[in-house]
Amino acid sequence: MAEYTPTEHGEELKADGTQKTEDRVNNRSLRPNSDSFKDFMTNNWDNQEPEVKALESSRYIPARLEALSKRFPGERLVIPAGQPKVRNNDCDYAFRPDTTFAYYTGLGQDYEAGAVLVMEPVNKDSEEAKAGKTHVPELFVAPRADNSTSAFYKDPHYGEYWVGPRAGLKELKAMTGIETRDIAELDDAIAKNVSDDANGEGIRVRIVRETDPELTAKVETMREASGFTDEDANTCADDKLHEFAAEARMLKDDYEIREMRKAIAATKLGFDRMLTRLPNALGHEHSERMIEGAFNSVAREEGNEVGYDTIVASGKHAPILHWMRNTGVVSSGELLLIDAGVEVNSLYTADITRTFPTNGKFTDLQKKLYQCVLDAQQAGFEAAKPGATYSDIH
Protein backbone atom coordinates (compact mmCIF):
# COMPACT_ATOMS: atom_id res chain seq x y z
CA MET A 1 0.00 0.00 0.00
CA ALA A 2 1.34 3.45 -0.90
CA GLU A 3 2.40 5.73 1.95
CA TYR A 4 1.76 9.46 1.92
CA THR A 5 3.25 12.34 3.88
CA PRO A 6 1.04 15.37 4.64
CA THR A 7 2.38 18.83 3.82
CA GLU A 8 1.59 22.22 5.32
CA HIS A 9 -0.87 22.80 2.48
CA GLY A 10 -2.97 19.80 3.45
CA GLU A 11 -1.96 17.84 0.34
CA GLU A 12 -0.11 14.55 0.62
CA LEU A 13 3.22 13.62 -0.98
CA LYS A 14 4.04 10.09 -2.02
CA ALA A 15 6.80 8.20 -0.22
CA ASP A 16 9.33 9.28 -2.87
CA GLY A 17 8.53 12.94 -2.18
CA THR A 18 6.55 13.57 -5.37
CA GLN A 19 3.00 14.85 -5.55
CA LYS A 20 -0.06 12.72 -6.08
CA THR A 21 -1.29 13.22 -9.64
CA GLU A 22 -4.64 14.73 -8.62
CA ASP A 23 -2.89 17.45 -6.57
CA ARG A 24 -0.66 18.68 -9.37
CA VAL A 25 -3.43 20.61 -11.05
CA ASN A 26 -3.57 22.91 -8.00
CA ASN A 27 0.10 23.91 -8.09
CA ARG A 28 -0.64 27.31 -9.55
CA SER A 29 -2.71 28.27 -6.50
CA LEU A 30 -0.76 26.46 -3.76
CA ARG A 31 2.74 27.70 -4.47
CA PRO A 32 4.54 29.82 -3.47
CA ASN A 33 3.26 29.72 0.09
CA SER A 34 5.51 32.01 2.12
CA ASP A 35 4.09 34.56 4.55
CA SER A 36 5.42 37.38 2.40
CA PHE A 37 3.63 35.99 -0.64
CA LYS A 38 0.41 35.60 1.36
CA ASP A 39 0.69 39.23 2.50
CA PHE A 40 1.32 40.34 -1.07
CA MET A 41 -1.71 38.42 -2.37
CA THR A 42 -4.19 39.44 0.33
CA ASN A 43 -3.33 43.05 1.19
CA ASN A 44 -4.12 46.37 -0.49
CA TRP A 45 -7.16 45.15 -2.38
CA ASP A 46 -10.28 47.19 -2.89
CA ASN A 47 -12.91 45.09 -1.11
CA GLN A 48 -15.94 44.70 -3.34
CA GLU A 49 -19.17 43.72 -1.66
CA PRO A 50 -21.51 41.71 -3.90
CA GLU A 51 -24.76 43.45 -4.76
CA VAL A 52 -27.52 41.94 -2.66
CA LYS A 53 -31.28 42.25 -2.81
CA ALA A 54 -34.13 39.89 -2.06
CA LEU A 55 -34.94 37.65 -5.00
CA GLU A 56 -38.43 38.01 -6.44
CA SER A 57 -38.91 34.29 -5.82
CA SER A 58 -38.26 34.74 -2.08
CA ARG A 59 -41.89 35.83 -1.55
CA TYR A 60 -43.06 32.42 -2.78
CA ILE A 61 -40.52 30.21 -1.01
CA PRO A 62 -42.24 30.06 2.43
CA ALA A 63 -45.41 28.51 0.96
CA ARG A 64 -43.40 25.92 -0.96
CA LEU A 65 -41.38 24.98 2.12
CA GLU A 66 -44.51 24.80 4.27
CA ALA A 67 -46.12 22.28 1.91
CA LEU A 68 -42.93 20.20 1.91
CA SER A 69 -42.72 20.38 5.69
CA LYS A 70 -46.29 19.19 6.22
CA ARG A 71 -45.71 16.17 3.97
CA PHE A 72 -42.71 14.91 6.00
CA PRO A 73 -43.23 16.00 9.64
CA GLY A 74 -40.49 15.06 12.08
CA GLU A 75 -38.03 14.04 9.35
CA ARG A 76 -34.82 15.75 8.27
CA LEU A 77 -34.87 16.55 4.55
CA VAL A 78 -31.64 17.11 2.63
CA ILE A 79 -31.81 18.89 -0.75
CA PRO A 80 -28.40 19.51 -2.39
CA ALA A 81 -27.67 22.02 -5.13
CA GLY A 82 -25.14 19.62 -6.63
CA GLN A 83 -21.48 19.93 -7.56
CA PRO A 84 -19.77 21.22 -10.71
CA LYS A 85 -19.15 18.59 -13.38
CA VAL A 86 -15.67 18.26 -14.84
CA ARG A 87 -15.44 18.92 -18.57
CA ASN A 88 -11.76 18.12 -18.87
CA ASN A 89 -8.68 18.50 -16.66
CA ASP A 90 -9.33 21.51 -14.38
CA CYS A 91 -12.18 22.91 -16.49
CA ASP A 92 -15.76 22.47 -15.30
CA TYR A 93 -18.99 22.78 -17.20
CA ALA A 94 -21.05 25.83 -16.30
CA PHE A 95 -22.84 24.97 -13.07
CA ARG A 96 -26.61 24.60 -12.98
CA PRO A 97 -28.21 23.82 -9.62
CA ASP A 98 -30.58 20.92 -9.25
CA THR A 99 -34.17 21.85 -10.06
CA THR A 100 -35.52 20.72 -6.69
CA PHE A 101 -32.95 22.87 -4.88
CA ALA A 102 -33.77 25.87 -7.08
CA TYR A 103 -37.51 25.43 -6.47
CA TYR A 104 -37.22 25.43 -2.68
CA THR A 105 -34.55 28.15 -2.36
CA GLY A 106 -35.22 30.38 -5.37
CA LEU A 107 -31.52 30.16 -6.27
CA GLY A 108 -31.33 29.64 -10.01
CA GLN A 109 -28.29 30.43 -12.15
CA ASP A 110 -24.77 29.73 -10.92
CA TYR A 111 -25.16 31.11 -7.40
CA GLU A 112 -23.68 28.47 -5.13
CA ALA A 113 -22.37 25.08 -6.23
CA GLY A 114 -22.14 22.69 -3.29
CA ALA A 115 -24.86 24.40 -1.25
CA VAL A 116 -27.34 22.22 0.64
CA LEU A 117 -30.83 23.03 1.91
CA VAL A 118 -31.75 21.13 5.08
CA MET A 119 -35.27 21.06 6.46
CA GLU A 120 -34.62 20.58 10.18
CA PRO A 121 -37.53 19.14 12.20
CA VAL A 122 -38.40 21.25 15.23
CA ASN A 123 -38.49 19.96 18.78
CA LYS A 124 -42.08 19.24 19.75
CA ASP A 125 -41.72 21.47 22.83
CA SER A 126 -40.09 24.38 20.98
CA GLU A 127 -41.57 27.79 20.29
CA GLU A 128 -41.59 26.92 16.58
CA ALA A 129 -43.74 23.86 17.28
CA LYS A 130 -46.13 25.90 19.40
CA ALA A 131 -46.45 28.30 16.46
CA GLY A 132 -47.48 25.40 14.23
CA LYS A 133 -44.18 24.88 12.44
CA THR A 134 -42.80 21.40 11.80
CA HIS A 135 -39.44 22.38 10.27
CA VAL A 136 -36.89 25.17 10.17
CA PRO A 137 -35.14 25.57 6.79
CA GLU A 138 -31.36 26.02 6.89
CA LEU A 139 -29.16 26.77 3.89
CA PHE A 140 -25.59 25.47 4.21
CA VAL A 141 -23.10 27.40 2.07
CA ALA A 142 -19.41 28.20 1.94
CA PRO A 143 -18.35 31.50 3.55
CA ARG A 144 -16.92 34.16 1.29
CA ALA A 145 -13.26 33.59 0.42
CA ASP A 146 -12.33 37.27 0.29
CA ASN A 147 -8.86 38.74 0.72
CA SER A 148 -8.92 38.19 4.47
CA THR A 149 -8.26 34.49 3.79
CA SER A 150 -5.59 32.54 1.93
CA ALA A 151 -8.43 30.79 0.08
CA PHE A 152 -8.79 34.13 -1.71
CA TYR A 153 -6.04 33.10 -4.11
CA LYS A 154 -5.67 29.36 -3.36
CA ASP A 155 -9.19 28.11 -4.00
CA PRO A 156 -10.11 28.16 -7.71
CA HIS A 157 -13.76 27.33 -6.93
CA TYR A 158 -14.54 29.87 -4.21
CA GLY A 159 -11.55 32.22 -4.01
CA GLU A 160 -12.61 35.72 -5.04
CA TYR A 161 -9.24 36.32 -6.70
CA TRP A 162 -10.34 33.57 -9.11
CA VAL A 163 -14.09 34.00 -9.42
CA GLY A 164 -14.78 37.53 -8.23
CA PRO A 165 -17.05 38.63 -5.36
CA ARG A 166 -19.63 35.98 -4.53
CA ALA A 167 -22.54 35.75 -2.15
CA GLY A 168 -21.75 34.27 1.25
CA LEU A 169 -23.87 33.45 4.28
CA LYS A 170 -25.09 36.98 4.95
CA GLU A 171 -25.82 37.71 1.31
CA LEU A 172 -27.65 34.46 0.57
CA LYS A 173 -29.84 34.92 3.65
CA ALA A 174 -30.83 38.36 2.38
CA MET A 175 -31.53 36.97 -1.09
CA THR A 176 -33.61 33.95 -0.05
CA GLY A 177 -34.98 34.77 3.39
CA ILE A 178 -33.61 31.41 4.61
CA GLU A 179 -31.25 31.13 7.59
CA THR A 180 -27.72 30.23 6.48
CA ARG A 181 -24.96 28.16 8.09
CA ASP A 182 -21.36 27.36 7.26
CA ILE A 183 -21.09 24.31 4.99
CA ALA A 184 -18.39 22.99 7.36
CA GLU A 185 -21.19 22.29 9.87
CA LEU A 186 -23.24 20.20 7.44
CA ASP A 187 -22.06 16.68 8.32
CA ASP A 188 -22.76 17.13 12.04
CA ALA A 189 -26.09 18.79 11.33
CA ILE A 190 -27.28 15.93 9.14
CA ALA A 191 -26.16 13.23 11.58
CA LYS A 192 -27.64 14.83 14.71
CA ASN A 193 -30.04 12.49 16.58
CA VAL A 194 -30.48 10.16 13.61
CA SER A 195 -31.92 6.91 14.93
CA ASP A 196 -34.65 4.35 14.28
CA ASP A 197 -35.65 4.67 17.94
CA ALA A 198 -39.05 3.05 18.26
CA ASN A 199 -40.02 5.53 20.99
CA GLY A 200 -40.08 8.33 18.48
CA GLU A 201 -37.04 10.21 19.75
CA GLY A 202 -34.91 9.43 16.71
CA ILE A 203 -34.94 11.29 13.41
CA ARG A 204 -35.18 9.85 9.93
CA VAL A 205 -33.22 11.48 7.09
CA ARG A 206 -34.28 11.68 3.45
CA ILE A 207 -32.14 13.08 0.64
CA VAL A 208 -32.65 13.94 -3.03
CA ARG A 209 -30.32 11.17 -4.11
CA GLU A 210 -29.03 11.82 -7.61
CA THR A 211 -27.89 15.41 -7.18
CA ASP A 212 -24.73 14.99 -5.09
CA PRO A 213 -23.47 11.37 -5.07
CA GLU A 214 -20.76 12.07 -2.49
CA LEU A 215 -23.23 13.58 -0.02
CA THR A 216 -25.71 10.79 -0.70
CA ALA A 217 -23.02 8.22 0.14
CA LYS A 218 -22.37 10.01 3.45
CA VAL A 219 -26.06 9.97 4.29
CA GLU A 220 -26.33 6.27 3.44
CA THR A 221 -23.36 5.42 5.67
CA MET A 222 -24.75 7.53 8.51
CA ARG A 223 -28.20 5.95 8.23
CA GLU A 224 -26.81 2.44 8.28
CA ALA A 225 -24.74 3.22 11.38
CA SER A 226 -27.87 4.64 13.04
CA GLY A 227 -30.05 1.58 12.57
CA PHE A 228 -31.60 2.25 9.15
CA THR A 229 -30.07 -0.86 7.59
CA ASP A 230 -32.66 -1.64 4.92
CA GLU A 231 -31.06 -0.14 1.81
CA ASP A 232 -34.14 -0.63 -0.36
CA ALA A 233 -36.38 1.03 2.23
CA ASN A 234 -33.98 3.98 2.49
CA THR A 235 -33.91 4.39 -1.28
CA CYS A 236 -37.70 4.21 -1.42
CA ALA A 237 -37.96 6.89 1.29
CA ASP A 238 -35.61 9.15 -0.69
CA ASP A 239 -37.61 8.58 -3.85
CA LYS A 240 -40.80 9.66 -2.08
CA LEU A 241 -39.15 12.99 -1.26
CA HIS A 242 -38.05 13.51 -4.86
CA GLU A 243 -41.47 12.45 -6.15
CA PHE A 244 -43.29 14.92 -3.89
CA ALA A 245 -41.00 17.76 -4.94
CA ALA A 246 -41.59 16.96 -8.61
CA GLU A 247 -45.37 16.79 -8.20
CA ALA A 248 -45.40 20.04 -6.21
CA ARG A 249 -44.13 21.85 -9.30
CA MET A 250 -47.10 20.72 -11.36
CA LEU A 251 -49.23 23.47 -9.80
CA LYS A 252 -47.66 26.81 -10.76
CA ASP A 253 -47.78 29.96 -8.66
CA ASP A 254 -47.95 33.44 -10.19
CA TYR A 255 -44.17 33.84 -10.16
CA GLU A 256 -43.63 30.59 -12.05
CA ILE A 257 -46.22 31.52 -14.67
CA ARG A 258 -44.48 34.85 -15.27
CA GLU A 259 -41.12 33.13 -15.62
CA MET A 260 -42.48 30.55 -18.06
CA ARG A 261 -43.99 33.32 -20.19
CA LYS A 262 -40.65 35.11 -20.09
CA ALA A 263 -38.95 31.93 -21.31
CA ILE A 264 -41.47 31.54 -24.13
CA ALA A 265 -41.00 35.15 -25.25
CA ALA A 266 -37.22 34.72 -25.28
CA THR A 267 -37.53 31.48 -27.23
CA LYS A 268 -39.68 33.24 -29.83
CA LEU A 269 -36.87 35.79 -30.27
CA GLY A 270 -34.46 32.90 -30.74
CA PHE A 271 -36.58 31.37 -33.50
CA ASP A 272 -36.82 34.76 -35.20
CA ARG A 273 -33.05 35.09 -35.20
CA MET A 274 -32.59 31.59 -36.61
CA LEU A 275 -34.88 32.36 -39.52
CA THR A 276 -32.99 35.56 -40.31
CA ARG A 277 -29.77 33.52 -40.36
CA LEU A 278 -31.21 30.74 -42.51
CA PRO A 279 -30.62 32.24 -46.01
CA ASN A 280 -26.90 32.75 -45.33
CA ALA A 281 -26.59 29.28 -43.81
CA LEU A 282 -27.93 27.38 -46.83
CA GLY A 283 -25.26 25.15 -48.31
CA HIS A 284 -22.63 26.06 -45.71
CA GLU A 285 -20.52 23.16 -44.43
CA HIS A 286 -21.71 23.80 -40.87
CA SER A 287 -25.12 25.29 -41.61
CA GLU A 288 -27.01 23.35 -38.90
CA ARG A 289 -24.49 24.67 -36.39
CA MET A 290 -24.79 28.20 -37.74
CA ILE A 291 -28.52 28.11 -37.08
CA GLU A 292 -27.98 26.51 -33.66
CA GLY A 293 -25.50 29.25 -32.77
CA ALA A 294 -28.02 31.94 -33.69
CA PHE A 295 -30.51 30.52 -31.20
CA ASN A 296 -27.98 29.82 -28.46
CA SER A 297 -26.72 33.40 -28.57
CA VAL A 298 -30.25 34.61 -27.80
CA ALA A 299 -30.46 32.14 -24.92
CA ARG A 300 -27.38 33.73 -23.34
CA GLU A 301 -28.53 37.28 -24.07
CA GLU A 302 -32.09 36.86 -22.80
CA GLY A 303 -31.72 34.15 -20.16
CA ASN A 304 -29.38 31.77 -18.40
CA GLU A 305 -28.71 29.23 -21.12
CA VAL A 306 -30.53 26.88 -23.47
CA GLY A 307 -32.98 24.68 -21.60
CA TYR A 308 -31.65 21.60 -23.40
CA ASP A 309 -29.41 20.85 -26.36
CA THR A 310 -30.80 22.63 -29.40
CA ILE A 311 -31.94 20.35 -32.23
CA VAL A 312 -31.45 21.66 -35.77
CA ALA A 313 -32.27 18.81 -38.14
CA SER A 314 -32.46 19.27 -41.90
CA GLY A 315 -33.39 16.81 -44.63
CA LYS A 316 -32.55 13.23 -43.68
CA HIS A 317 -31.78 14.30 -40.10
CA ALA A 318 -35.29 15.67 -39.48
CA PRO A 319 -36.96 12.26 -38.79
CA ILE A 320 -34.30 11.36 -36.19
CA LEU A 321 -35.96 11.63 -32.78
CA HIS A 322 -33.17 13.59 -31.05
CA TRP A 323 -30.61 14.78 -33.56
CA MET A 324 -28.30 16.96 -31.44
CA ARG A 325 -25.01 16.75 -33.33
CA ASN A 326 -26.11 19.47 -35.72
CA THR A 327 -23.32 18.62 -38.15
CA GLY A 328 -25.37 18.55 -41.33
CA VAL A 329 -25.70 20.85 -44.32
CA VAL A 330 -29.02 22.66 -44.75
CA SER A 331 -29.98 22.68 -48.42
CA SER A 332 -32.61 24.67 -50.26
CA GLY A 333 -35.94 22.89 -50.69
CA GLU A 334 -35.64 20.70 -47.61
CA LEU A 335 -37.74 20.68 -44.45
CA LEU A 336 -35.88 22.00 -41.39
CA LEU A 337 -36.99 20.84 -37.94
CA ILE A 338 -35.91 22.93 -34.95
CA ASP A 339 -36.52 21.96 -31.31
CA ALA A 340 -35.23 24.62 -28.92
CA GLY A 341 -35.94 26.47 -25.69
CA VAL A 342 -34.46 29.33 -23.68
CA GLU A 343 -33.95 28.73 -19.97
CA VAL A 344 -34.31 32.00 -18.06
CA ASN A 345 -32.31 32.84 -14.94
CA SER A 346 -34.91 31.29 -12.66
CA LEU A 347 -34.31 27.99 -14.55
CA TYR A 348 -37.76 27.83 -16.13
CA THR A 349 -37.56 26.90 -19.78
CA ALA A 350 -39.67 26.91 -22.90
CA ASP A 351 -39.80 23.93 -25.27
CA ILE A 352 -40.87 24.71 -28.83
CA THR A 353 -40.61 22.61 -31.99
CA ARG A 354 -41.29 24.01 -35.46
CA THR A 355 -40.70 22.83 -39.03
CA PHE A 356 -39.90 25.20 -41.90
CA PRO A 357 -39.31 24.85 -45.64
CA THR A 358 -35.75 26.07 -46.09
CA ASN A 359 -36.57 28.05 -49.24
CA GLY A 360 -39.72 29.57 -47.76
CA LYS A 361 -42.25 27.48 -49.70
CA PHE A 362 -43.69 23.98 -49.14
CA THR A 363 -43.89 21.49 -51.97
CA ASP A 364 -47.26 19.73 -52.32
CA LEU A 365 -45.92 16.63 -50.54
CA GLN A 366 -44.30 18.67 -47.77
CA LYS A 367 -47.53 20.58 -47.26
CA LYS A 368 -49.55 17.35 -46.91
CA LEU A 369 -47.05 15.96 -44.41
CA TYR A 370 -47.03 19.19 -42.41
CA GLN A 371 -50.84 19.38 -42.36
CA CYS A 372 -51.08 15.78 -41.14
CA VAL A 373 -48.84 16.53 -38.17
CA LEU A 374 -50.65 19.80 -37.46
CA ASP A 375 -54.06 18.07 -37.46
CA ALA A 376 -52.79 15.44 -35.01
CA GLN A 377 -51.43 18.16 -32.75
CA GLN A 378 -54.71 20.07 -32.79
CA ALA A 379 -56.63 16.89 -31.95
CA GLY A 380 -54.36 16.42 -28.94
CA PHE A 381 -55.03 19.98 -27.78
CA GLU A 382 -58.78 19.43 -28.01
CA ALA A 383 -58.52 16.20 -25.98
CA ALA A 384 -56.49 17.87 -23.23
CA LYS A 385 -59.23 18.64 -20.72
CA PRO A 386 -59.58 18.29 -16.94
CA GLY A 387 -59.91 14.59 -16.11
CA ALA A 388 -58.37 13.38 -19.38
CA THR A 389 -55.62 10.78 -19.14
CA TYR A 390 -52.30 10.70 -20.93
CA SER A 391 -53.56 7.96 -23.23
CA ASP A 392 -56.72 9.96 -24.05
CA ILE A 393 -54.59 12.77 -25.43
CA HIS A 394 -52.28 10.51 -27.37
pLDDT at site 220? 97
Q: Do residues 274 and 293 touch, judged by C-beta distance below 8 A?
A: no
Strands 335-340 and 352-357: antiparallel
Domains of the chain: total: 2
Question: Helix, strand or coil for residue 97?
Answer: coil
Assess if residue 335 is contained within a domain. Answer: yes
User: Angle 231-248/61-71 helices, nearest 10 degrees?
Assistant: 140
Query: Whole-model pTM?
Result: 0.88
pLDDT at site 49? 78
pLDDT at site 179? 98
Q: What is the mean pLDDT of the chain?
A: 92
Assess if residue 283 is contained within a domain. Answer: yes
CB atoms under 10 Å from CB of 157, counted, come to: 16
Q: What's 286's domain CATH number?
A: 3.90.230.10
Do 269 and 239 fall within a single domain? no
Do 77 and 213 fall within a single domain? yes
Question: What's the number of CA atoms in the CB half-sphere (13 Å) around residue 78?
Answer: 29
SS3 breakdown of the chain: % helix, strand, coil, rounded to 5?
Answer: 45, 15, 40
Do 223 and 261 fall within a single domain? no
pLDDT at site 36? 84
- Residue-wise pLDDT for 208-226, tens only, equals 999 999 999 999 999 999 9
pLDDT tier at 34, thresholds 50, 70, 90: confident
Assess if residue 382 is contained within a domain. Answer: no
Last residue of a domain, one of 206, 228, 248: 248
- Residue-wise pLDDT for 109-139, tens only, equals 889 999 999 999 998 888 888 888 999 999 9
For residue 327, what are the domain limits? Answer: 254-361
- Residue-wise pLDDT for 296-332, tens only, equals 999 999 999 999 999 999 999 999 999 999 999 999 9
Q: Do residues 50 and 176 touch, judged by C-beta distance below 8 A?
A: no
Assess if residue 307 is contained within a domain. Answer: yes
